[in-house]
Amino acid sequence: MQWPNFPTETKSSVLVVSVKIDSGCTLITCMITSYPGPRTRARSANMAVESQKKEAAVVSHPDIVANDQPVLSLKEKLKNMKEGPGSMAAYLEMRELEIQKEIPQAESEMPDLQSQPDTPDAEIPKKKRGKTRMDHVHNSNDKKIITLNELSQPVSDNSKLLSEFSNFLGTTVRQFVSLTCVSWHEVPEKDLLWEYVKEKYIIPEEAKPWVLKTMNDQFRSYKSRIKRDYYYPYPTDEERLENRPKEVPLADWKLLLKYWADGKTKRTAAKNIVARQKIIETHTTGPTSFAQITNKLRLKKLEEEKLHDADVGCEGKSVHISDADIYLETRKRDSKREYKLPKKVLEKVTEKIDDVKKALATEGEEAANKLVYGEKEHSPSYLIGRLIQKKEPKSKASAAPAQPPDEYVNQLTAKIKAQLQQEMEEKFDKKLQDMMKLLAEKNPSLNINVNTEDPQKSDEMPNGDDNIVTP
């Protein structure tokens, strides 16, 4: 049998041979497929080696798919999210269209925020140590466990763990969220941030809203610090460009300068500054959450009551912490430390703290709680911290603490006794009525009124008849 000659341009050939034996005859079918390739053996050999290396790479690296496009890791997706276009550019384009319709305002109505810093001291901040990076968490695969309280807030007996977790969330925001987002609502793909948190910590799914809310607050604080330290201290944009923060790209910084110089943005900032100055009873806990403060007070009270046994633990133990206790713990001042509050304001806050202490020691918890809340309406998180559950705002009317379990049991017991007494009286009346009916049937000569529904009829006695029996 003579085989056909293959052309020299053939890169490779595929020969498929099928053999069928039927009634002593042999049938051989050949199918040859060819496509152009290298003309020399060297080129063919090189391409074969490259093909083998490529196949080995695909086997050894599962992140490379068949179309040669790498599968991005979660960290790479977050970096792409930050480097993507923000919404601030779109906002500025919209503002350019609105600016023509805006009514110009007098300069006296709007303070010059470019030359006025947030703080009275307009000096340029001194150089400090580098910012926290938390590389040991971002580059580690060792997951630590985060536990939650009854309000799904992270708490732990180890305060260093929660401090580390809080710093990790802050550095995650600085690393992967662009400052060119007008607000947290404009941040894209927030679920990627939550997935990244779960990649570094073992944390229940119920904590997702709390984590994202914390990141929201840290994003706003981060942008505020950047504006305070690198925008207000310098009077012109040229100086601000020269002293740009290193972690902010130049293109983003130019966009931020244009956004902060916008008239509408400046008016909003002026209103926020005035509103912020009205808050005088600021807490002094630093980055420690109110939930952790409450947990700390709970553990301390358990130890005082000798319920906190190292072998048994304190889980399931019911300990009541009053709002006054939380207020005193979160607002306490150090006499040796200087605070930014004006002297009169600080004296007023100190006086209130002393009054709450005195009321808690002499008049009781309810009176102390009333002093804490005063006449103002407070937010649900006033003494609780970041909430992920809807709660009614606390006010003076609702400032009374929850009823202790013993008082609740006593009230429930009294209610049950009243119901039982009513049921017994109804049964007694019915039984007495049945007995009177039976007596009337046995003694027809007796004029017995068995109607107990109308007492007046029962009390009426017919004239001349002394043999009347009434129930």
Tell me what percent of the residues of the chain surpass a pLDDT of 70.
Answer: 62
pTM over 0.75: no
Is 246 or 399 the better-scoring residue by pLDDT?
246
Query: Is 414 within 8 Å of 401 (Cβ atoms)?
Result: no
Is 309 or 141 the better-scoring residue by pLDDT?
141
pLDDT at 63 over 50: no
Residue 69's pLDDT is 57
Is 16 or 51 the better-scoring residue by pLDDT?
51
Cα three-residue angle 211-174-84, rounded to 5 degrees: 100
Residue 414's pLDDT is 72
Going by pLDDT thresholds of 50, 70 and 90, the confidence category of residue 131 is confident
- Whole-number average pLDDT of the chain: 74
Tell me which long-range contacts 47-55 makes (C-beta under 8 A, separation of at least 24). Answer: 47/11
Residue 116 to residue 114: CA distance in whole angstroms:
6
Residue 276's pLDDT is 85
Query: What's the average model confidence in pLDDT over 42-49?
Result: 46
3-class SS of residue 45 = helix
Query: Both ends of the chain: CA-CA distance in Å?
Result: 129
Is 367 or 412 the better-scoring residue by pLDDT?
367
Going by pLDDT thresholds of 50, 70 and 90, the confidence category of residue 204 is very high
Query: What's the average model confidence in pLDDT over 222-248?
Result: 95
Q: Is 170 exposed, middle or buried (0-12, 13-18, 19+ CB in 10 A)?
A: buried
Q: Which residue has the tokens 């968490």?
A: 137
Tell me what percent of the residues of the chain surpass a pLDDT of 90.
Answer: 34
pLDDT in tens, 372-393: 988 888 887 889 888 775 545 4
Going by pLDDT thresholds of 50, 70 and 90, the confidence category of residue 150 is confident
Residue 445's pLDDT is 73
Tokens representing 238? 């040229």
What are the boundaries of each domain within the chain? 10-60, 74-277, 302-402, 408-469
Strand bridging mode 201-202 / 25-36: unpaired
pLDDT in tens, 85-130: 556 766 777 777 666 665 454 444 444 444 444 444 455 555 566 6
pLDDT at 460 over 70: no
